């Protein structure tokens, strides 16, 4: 079971605020890491991860 699936179950149980706060903190952290990274390959990997997690965050937000 992926973390996204676990978060869906938590939201269904009524813990949407905690899940969204945790996800938003991760997005902020990735954004800061991407801005500070000088290696372009690592920055590109961080950007891909950021977009994937942002899509998951938006999907979870629509469930609420």
Closest CA to 34 of 21, 17, 51: 51
Could you tell me if 43 and 34 are in contact, meaning their C-beta atoms sit under 8 angstroms apart?
yes
Q: Tell me the whole-structure pTM to 2 decimals.
A: 0.88
Model confidence band, residue 63 (pLDDT cutoffs 50, 70, 90) = confident
Interatomic CA distance for residues 41 and 48, integer angstroms: 11
Per-residue pLDDT at 8: 94
Residue range 13-34, pLDDT digits in tens: 999 999 999 999 999 999 999 9
Checking if the pLDDT of 41 tops 90, the result is yes
Strand ranges inside 1-64, DSSP E: none
Could you tell me if 7 and 23 are in contact, meaning their C-beta atoms sit under 8 angstroms apart?
yes
């Amino acid at each position: 079971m992926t973390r996204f699936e676990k978060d869906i179950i938590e939201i269904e149980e009524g813990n949407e605020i905690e899940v969204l706060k945790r996800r938003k903190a991760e997005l902020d952290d990735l954004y800061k890491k991407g801005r500070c990274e000088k290696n372009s390959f690592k920055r590109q990997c961080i950007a891909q991860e950021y977009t994937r997690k942002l899509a998951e965050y938006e999907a979870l937000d629509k469930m609420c």
